[in-house]
Amino acid sequence: MQPMPLEKEKLSDLVAERLVQYIEENNLQPGDLLPTEKELAECFQIGRTSVREGISKLKSIGLLHTVQGYGCIINETSLSSFLDSINTSVLNKFIKLDVQDCHQIMETRAFLETSALQSYISSDRTEDLHDLYITVRRMEKALEASDYRSFHELDLEFHHQITKLAGNSVLSQTYDFIKDSFIRRAEDLCEPQDHEKRQNDHRRLLDGIRKKDAGTVQILSDHLHCQFSQQPISGRKSSFNLENGFPVFS
Say whether pLDDT at 182 is over 50: yes
Q: Is the pLDDT of residue 239 over 50?
A: no
Q: What is the pLDDT of residues 24-57, one digit of tens each?
A: 888 888 888 888 888 888 888 888 888 888 888 8
CATH of the domain at 70: 1.10.10.10
Task: For residue 71, report the phi and psi dihedrals to the nearest 5 degrees.
Answer: 140, -165
Identify whether 89 is part of a domain.
Answer: no
Q: Which of 77, 104, 134 is the last residue of a domain?
A: 77
Q: Which of 50, 77, 104 is the last residue of a domain?
A: 77
Residue 72, beta-bridge partner list = 66
Domain that holds residue 69: 11-77
| Residue pair 197/217 in contact by the 8 Å Cβ criterion | no
Amino acid at 115: S
Q: Does residue 132 sit within a domain?
A: yes
* pLDDT beyond 90 at 179: no
Per-residue pLDDT reduced to its tens digit, 74-107: 887 766 656 565 555 545 555 666 778 777 888 8
Asked if residue 185 has pLDDT above 90, the reply is: no
Same domain (yes/no): 127, 156: yes
Number of domains into which the chain is organized: 2
pLDDT of residue 97: 66
Reply yes or no on whether the pLDDT at 22 is more than 70: yes
The DSSP string of 168-216 is -HHHHHHHHHHIIIIIHHHHHTSPP--HHHHHHHHHHHHHHHHHT-TTH
Spatial separation of the C-alpha atoms in residues 54 and 70, rounded to whole Å: 19
Q: What are the tens digits of pLDDT across the range 105-125?
A: 888 889 999 999 999 999 999
In a domain, 1, yes or no: no
Phi first, then psi, for residue 216 (nearest 5°) are: -65, -30
Whether residue 71 has pLDDT greater than 80: yes
pLDDT digits (tens, 9 = 90+) for 126-141: 889 999 999 999 999 9
On whether the pTM is more than 0.75, the answer is no
Q: By the 8 A CB rule, do 232 and 103 touch?
A: no
